[in-house]
Structure 1
Amino acid sequence: MRLTARQLFPILLFIAILLMTIRPIADPDFWWHLRTGEWMVASHAVPHADPFSFTNLGKTWTAHEWLSELVIYGLYRLGGLPLLILTFALVITAAFWLVYRRSPGRPYFAGFALLLGVLAAAPAWGVRPQMLSLLLTSLFLFLLDRYSETRSLKWIIPLPFLTALWVNLHAGFALGLGIAAVYLGSDFLEWIGSLVSPSGKKRNLRDLLPLAAVLAACGLAVLANPNGARMYVYPFETLFSSAMQAYIQEWFSPDFHRPEWQPLAWMFLALIGLAIFARRHRIPLAHILLTLFFGYMSLRSMRHVPLFVLAAVPVLAALAEGAAGAAREALKTATGSPVQKAPPLPGWVNVLLILFALLAAGGRFASVVSSQPEVERETFPAAAVDWILANQPDGNIYNTYSWGGYLTWRLRDYPVFIDGRADLYGDAFIESFLDIYRARPGWQEALADNGVNLALVEPGSAIGDALAVSPEWELVFSDENSLLFVRR
């Protein structure tokens, strides 16, 4: 097997990306997704009312990720947490492979732009339905790019069918409609431009009809879900929830003082710098519009950073290739001859490098799987839950927001106070939960009104400190990350 460096580079790049995407499960929402999948298998139904909390039991619930949750539970049944970790690592890697295929300047400019994007998006990865939405977003972009380049209908005919799948996996399906609309709008603007340009090629307005028809079909395909027409408005309710924007971390803006967000800052700087200094390089209007929009959204919310990466990497690669073109011309002028291509590497070198990369990925996977129990103990109140299961105290439980999903999975006989389904609980309830969590006046009465006899909270929290000094409560268990109180 004799490969040139250009051929070997993408292989090693994507093994490296796969290695980076393999990580332990620490997402607090994972556990209620897993529990929901189990509930559906047992009930042979999609939930339309809350079955897991005592505070909102029976309240209408739009389970927009129901198919993702069945997938998660099915994979768990087949291979446990290791299979889930590997599968979602492959899903994320596939999403970035499609980005690479869309990018000019392959392999090196596209590869290094992608690597920067991968590092920028890394904080958002996990075993979560959003990763399936990320893959479908990337696939939509890939298909629409191919259609824009070839005008062949074969690239956009799958979009309505993908929309029907997507709407059952995650509410991010709205991104697909929006992205298709941006491509259609870009075509319209270019048609307008062709009318006023004296020398440009005239475009026919009828050329817009195929994509417009497919976009309309995508809109109708949204109805192919168990929640019906409600899915037309659901994504926007979530997007404009004031409590979610104010209190849920992934909706916060990236903190550029933290090291994990530095690659995102570098990506913005690279885009700006190359846009200034690169020689002229035509970038599709749709790419520019999507990069600007998702760039703005990524500055508003960490949740949107991966979407910015999907849009911006091809633009960054194009700008880098344009900047390098001048350097190549200068080198050719200085030497009087074009740059020589590197010869193929010896076969044994190729095999050795690929084997080493695969061994590194395998070692990473084994390490992550072996560390999962420890990550669970450090991230969630595993020991406190063990105590509850062993002692079976009576009563409703007040719990920390980020632990509700874990309790839903492990404490089957204890409905939770709250979990990560913020859309179900609503802004008013989240505010009342936080009043208790911050031990504001009336917290004792609020717990009593909800029949709470157990409280599982973090050390150092305001409610934990208040419960510790209250004569009505007794601390029955504590460790490094949890306090468990029982009403006397």
Structure 2
Amino acid sequence: MSRKGKKSSSRTEKRVPEKTAGSGPAAADIPEDRNRQSSLFPRVSRLPVELSFLSLLLLWTFLVACFPLRNMDIWWHLRTGQLILERGTVPYFDWFTFIDYDRPWIDLHWGFQILVTWLYRWGGVDLLVLTKSCCLALTIGVAWYASGRSLPACWKALCWVLPVVCLSGRSVVRPEMLSLLYLAVWMYVISRLPTHPRLIYLIPLVTLLWVNSHALFVLGLVVSGLFVTDFVIRILAQGRFGIDPPDDSLSVIMLVRAGVLTVIACFLNPYFEQGVLFPLTLYEKFSVDQAFYSVRVGEFQRPLDFIRQNGLGNLFLLSQVLLAILTFCSFIPLLKSRRVNPFRILLFIAFTHLALKASRNTAIFALISGMVLCDNLSDWLRMTVTRPTRGQKETGTRRSLRLFDESLLKNGSSAVVLLFLLLSVITGYWHAWGGEGKVLGLGEQEAWYAHAASKFAGQPGMPDRAFVSNNGQAAVYIFHNGPERKVFFDGRLEVNSKETFQLYEQFKQQMSFNSSGWAYLLEDKEGHLPAIILDSRYSRNEINGLLNNPQWRLVFADETAAVFLDQKTADRLKLTVVDPTPLISPPGMKILKSK
């Protein structure tokens, strides 16, 4: 070949370099050859198959999340939403307790609270459950299109099984359900930036909604920070180390503009800079104060501690461990082929760190891991399942994968798995495997909330203060009686101090030991004592202690809770001792034993 021919060949190679995975931050890192794409995954025939698998996945997701209401916090959220609509203002100081009444309350949940209040007015608890299930299904739907764009639908559906299991374990009517949706939308926008760069201006809008719904808006800022870090790494790498340069469609000016607008959006909340800094308060509780809260609040417990105590018998925890292993392993073949995507690596590290800190972060870890897993497999598949060019020999591995991809076996096998999962939920076996007493249905969990006890304690003439245990039932009391009647302590850890929590536990312990000295510390200025409301499942020792204490009288009892009044107040109201038999075997005790 002449020197001229060699130069021409060299120039041709420079004009059409071989791209590597990692040029973009999300799914579309390896440029797609349109001819190969159409021969491998024909778009016309692929669309109905994809919609079929997506529909099966979303239906199963909806059903696993559709179980009777059982989270406690929803009741103080509902009462707060009602008061915000009545008063036309958000709270700035505590509305519901009589000991921490002067503490500031940064209620970034106010948007969520108004939403659930409207839903509750229109359709009650049933509509709350249905909305929660739809929200989770919508989150998975958005995440589906945000990741694994070249992954066959049957494979992608299977990849999302473990994340959905993890997410369903914390599928409750809480602000977290909106945070998961916002996070999925955030990731979807990032995944589309290489082809639609102007979508980046949706990020400030999502931030505005998020910061006025939940304190976890900080997760969006974390993802954006990792995206910018990825952008800088790609510039510095200059195509070395298997890292492609950043996509040309997104300019630094656009990043700066979107970043400034996002920061401004963070401050557009009723609490301004206090709202922006509030996530640090929550992070402190499961980092600096981890030792204190993890043994008292289940969702603050670290997964590793739970495994040491109980093993991997829990379906949701086992799914989280398997998902972490699969996602970690999905990086290996790409790294071996020098296909480095800094953004995905940073995402996985950051959200794994959060998951290891507290079990309450399981859901966000599962969502991010699901998308990273799909993207990694999509890249690996594009590298492996390709038709050989003319004159190129096809290896056995590539031929096997290609033939499998072109066969009906993969679609049929995946469909059988999804249909089996659907059937297991409908027949009730799925929730039996979960071991938490959940069933497919609407309404409230049987005998879960102390509605009757709270209404009884809110009658005219009853004390205007209450000591409620467990603290979750305090939310039910607040819903029926607040803010005119107040509680000693409730589940709002962003309001109640650590010292109040310790004092609350000391009172409970003294009740259990049939001690009398604690009561005088709860007297008001007139010497009146609060009503004592004790949950029949979690406060059995306290109930036994007060039953044997002559200074207190049991004036109400059902299978959910007991109400005690001091003898003086009970005599004034002419309330006699009631039969404690309903407290002996509450329905919820079976659920507690299964845990």
Find the partner of 1:132 among 178, 193, 197: 178
Q: Tell me the CA shift for residue 65 of structure 1.
A: 0.8
Q: Is the 8 A contact 1:120 1:264 kept in 2?
A: yes
**Does residue 216 in structure 1 map to residue 260 in structure 2?**
yes
Q: In structure 2, how many angstroms separate the alpha carbons of the residues matched to 1:323 and 1:19?
A: 32
Separation (CA, whole Å) in 1 of partners of 2:224 and 2:116 = 28
The Cα offsets for residues 174-221 of structure 1, whole Å up to 9 and x where unpaired, read as: 111121111001110111111766996588899334223312221121
Q: Partner of 2:258: helix, strand, or coil? A: helix
Partner in structure 1 of residue 300 of structure 2: 251
Residue 467 (str. 1) matches residue 537 (str. 2)? no
Compute the displacement of 1:447 (Å): 2.9
Distance 1:334 1:155, change over 3 A: closer
Q: Is the 8 A contact 1:398 1:417 kept in 2?
A: yes
> What is the Cα deviation at residue 234 of structure 1?
0.8
> Does 1:41 find its partner at 2:85?
yes
Cα separation, partners in 2 of 1:57 and 1:369, compared to 1, 3 Å? farther
Distance in 1 between residues matched to 2:230 and 2:99, nearest whole Å = 48
1:261-306 deviation line (CA, Å, top 9, x unaligned):
1111111222244444677484632122111111121122111111
**1:437–1:461 contact (8 Å) kept in structure 2:** no
Show the counterpart of 2:555: 476
CA distance in structure 2 between the partners assigned to 1:268 and 1:86 by the alignment? 29
SS in 1 for 2:215: coil
Amino acid aligned to 2:487:
V
Is 1:393 the equivalent of 2:449?
no
Deviates more, 1:456-465 or 1:165-174: 456-465
Which structure shows the higher helix fraction?
A: 1
Distance 1:199 1:465, change over 3 A: closer
Q: Which residue does the alignment assign to 1:263?
A: 319
- d(CA) in 1 for partners of 2:250, 2:137: 37
User: How many Å separate the matches in 1 of 2:272 and 2:474?
Assistant: 28
Q: Describe the shift of the 1:429–1:259 C-alpha distance in structure 2 as closer, same or farther (beyond 3 A).
A: same
Q: Does residue 1:381 correspond to 2:438, yes or no? A: no
Per-residue Cα deviation, 1:227-246 (whole angstroms, up to 9, x for no partner): 11111211101210325455
Structure 1 stretches lacking a partner, 5+ long: none
Q: What's 1:120 paired with?
A: 166
Question: 1:95-116 CA deviation, whole Å, 9 max, x = no partner?
Answer: 1112111221141222111121
The residue correspondences of 1:262-281 to structure 2 (distance < 5 A) are: 262-276=318-332, 280=337
Q: C-alpha displacement at 1:419, in angstroms?
A: 1.7
State the shift of 1:331 in Å.
6.2
Matched, 1:409 2:442: no
SS of the equivalent of 2:117 reads helix
Q: Please give the residue correspondences for 1:257-336 in structure 2 after superposition, counting only pairs within 5 Å.
A: 257=311, 258-276=314-332, 280=337, 282=339, 284-321=341-378, 330=396, 333=399
Counting only pairs closer than 5 Å after superposition, residues 79-98 of structure 1 correspond to structure 2 as 79-98=123-142
Taking the aligned partners of 1:19 and 1:464, their CA distance within structure 2 comes to: 37
Aligned with 2:565: secondary structure?
A: strand
RMSD: 3.7
- C-alpha contact 1:187 1:208 (8 A) present in aligned 2: no
Which one of the candidate residues 529, 533, 546 is aligned to 1:452? 529
CA gap of 1:59–1:260, structure 2 versus 1, over 3 A, is same
Shift of the 452–249 alpha-carbon distance from structure 1 to 2, 3 Å rule, reads: farther
CA displacement 1:138-197 (0-9 Å, x = unmatched): 1111112222x33x4321111112212211111111111121111001110111111766
Q: Give, in whole Å, the separation in 2 of the partners of 1:16 and 1:415.
A: 42
Which protein has greater RCO, CA pairs closer than 8 Å, 6+ apart? 1
Q: Aligned residue for 2:114?
A: 70
Alpha-carbon spacing, 1:294–1:124, altered in 2? closer, same or farther (3 Å): same
1:319-342 Cα deviation digits (max 9, x unpaired) = 445666758963664699785354
Pick which of 44-53 and 54-63 moved more: 54-63
Structure 2 Cα separation of the partners of residues 322 and 206 of structure 1: 21
* Aligned-partner residue type, residue 380 of structure 1: Y
Alignment CA distance shift 1:452-1:250 (3 Å): farther
Larger radius of gyration: 2
Calculate the TM-score normalised by the size of structure 1. Answer: 0.85
Secondary structure of residue in 2 paired with 1:393:
coil
Is residue 518 of structure 2 the alignment partner of residue 443 of structure 1? yes
Alpha-carbon distance change, 479 to 239 in structure 1, aligned in 2, over 3 angstroms: same
2:505 corresponds in structure 1 to 434
Q: What code does the residue aligned with 2:406 have?
A: Q
What is the CA-CA distance between 1:477 and the residue it aligns to?
A: 2.8
Alignment partners' CA distance in 2, 1:337 and 1:399: 64
Kindly report which structure 2 residues correspond to 1:41-60, keeping only aligned pairs within 5 A, or say none.
41-60=85-104
State the distance in 2 between where 1:384 and 1:339 align.
Answer: 60
CA distance 1:72–1:434, shift in 2 (3 Å): same
Q: In the superposition, relative to structure 1, how do residues 100 and 283 fare at CA in structure 2: closer, same or farther (>3 Å)?
A: farther
Q: How many residues align?
A: 472
Classify the secondary structure of the residue corresponding to 2:103: coil
- Aligned AA (1:435): Q
Find out whether 1:240 has 2:289 as its counterpart. no
Scaled by the length of structure 2, what TM-score is found?
0.71
Is the Cα–Cα contact under 8 Å of residues 160 and 214 in structure 1 kept in the other structure? yes
Shifted more, 88-97 versus 468-477: the winner is: 468-477
